[in-house]
Structure 1
């Protein structure tokens, strides 16, 4: 019996846009939010989608709720796929409120986390402390991602505050600044109560911060992902993506779904 020769997909079928970067990427990063995956589900996520994931956030304050050996294993698995993994920014806010920052940093370093999210979505945090946390994370060898925006329903973007936050965060060493949309994508930041993008606010942000490589947009809903890809191109950084939507989002990025087939002509 004649064995079939090894064949590969034509590159124009793998990525019709011709724009998708391999890891480590400078554009088009995807951040996944893990809200409680078991080890088997986590392994399935990485084996099917690991090449398309750049960051995994262990959502909000869930990190201490896992059996420690299981959490360590998840972190090791993510590292094997060159994925930055970090606890949600809300957990750091808890550490601030509880005056337990030293314990927090000791534990996340011991566990092997490779990233840190600095946010003030729920608490008030002065600029000095924000700077200190960014610098402390960098000093611990962590990749620092910051976040702009409050989590409260109906919260919006204050452009002048956003500009100041982004510029200072980057100056102090943040690799990315996340625009808050929570895990729901409803009634927060650039999204209205139905999850539709407020294009006027989006336009104001893009005018104020033209370098999209420093912004990561939380966009948990498919309609939001499609809209931002159509507006900003396949290189937009997207976050709070559900684990079971990674392959679907990657298809959107590459123009392999009808929603973004037009991105095929967006070759740069």
Structure 2
């Protein structure tokens, strides 16, 4: 069969939701978590999925375990694809606990990371210290993504606490506030022990938070992504997405998967 030059899919099939925008985006952001991809796997991810990924987080404290040249290669190749890269917040928590946060920031800059994640999912961080870390990072020219919530199983989202935390983080210079769900999505934050979304809780949160567009929801599981997109819309910011799930998530955003067909905007009724 002859391959026709210039072949393309109908525009309506490329994005039935009529909602997706090109990078740099201000909404509908996708953050992928890298827990140890090798150079070929990382390159494959970029080759197939780069247009659909806005951030790559080098998960938890894995960054110091890579050979420096390999880590820099990952950062540089992602940046060439217009993807920002930052180390997981657990690494900064470890730096605070060990009193080496100054050296942490220095190394982050030397390696070429775009930003940092400020969190207190494992340690206790005073509001004063959290403010200091956010301001120091922004003054160094780093993008700051903060995280709300604890990693312990059973931790829940508390509306007033989230509101206060997010408002202050954003005032200090944070770009996005991520709602914790860990990489498992089980029994933490919005999700119950089986990974199900507490939908009523989610609706209550977004209805009462004036800055919901500045929130990113960790949602590593497909059912969680579906629930969030159907409630919040295609432009919900979603994080902790496994690398191999970047394209499947994009099909959910666009209504190119049965689970989110209702996101189609052009047609209200389907006749077969």
Aligned residue number for residue 142 of structure 1: 142
State the match for 2:91 in structure 1. Answer: 91
Residue 3 of structure 1 and its aligned partner are, at CA, apart by 7.7
Residues 1:266 and 1:147: Cα distance change in structure 2 (over 3 Å) = farther
1:54 aligns with 2:58: no
Cα contact 1:32–1:56 (8 A) shared by 2: yes
Q: Report matched runs for 1:230-241 at 5 Å.
A: 230-241=230-241
Give the aligned partner of residue 194 of structure 1: 194
In the superposition, the TM-score normalised over structure 1's length comes to 0.96
Matched residues, number: 266
Q: Which residue of 1 aligns with 2:26?
A: 26
Q: 5+ unaligned residues in a row in structure 1: which ranges?
A: none
Native 8 Å contact 2:203 2:231 kept in 1 = no
RMSD: 1.4
- 3-state secondary structure, aligned to 1:144: strand
1:215 paired to 2:223: no
Q: Which runs of 5+ in 2 are unaligned?
A: 268-272
Aligned-partner Cα distance in 2 for 1:3–1:123: 57
Tell me the alpha carbon deviations over residues 116-151 of structure 1, each in whole angstroms, 9 at most, x when there is no partner.
100000000011111111111111111110000000
Change (3 A) 1:3 1:263: closer
1:240-259 counterparts in 2 under 5 A?
A: 240-259=240-259
4+ residue stretches of structure 1 with deviation over 2 A?
2-5
The answer to whether the Cα contact below 8 Å between 1:32 and 1:55 also exists between their aligned partners in 2 is yes
Quick check: 1:165 aligned with 2:157? no
How far does the alpha carbon of each residue in 1:195-235 deviate from its partner, in whole angstroms, 9 at most, with x for none? 00112321221122143320000000000000101111100
Deviation of 1:114 after TM superposition, in Å, equals: 0.3
| Offset, 1:159 | 1.3
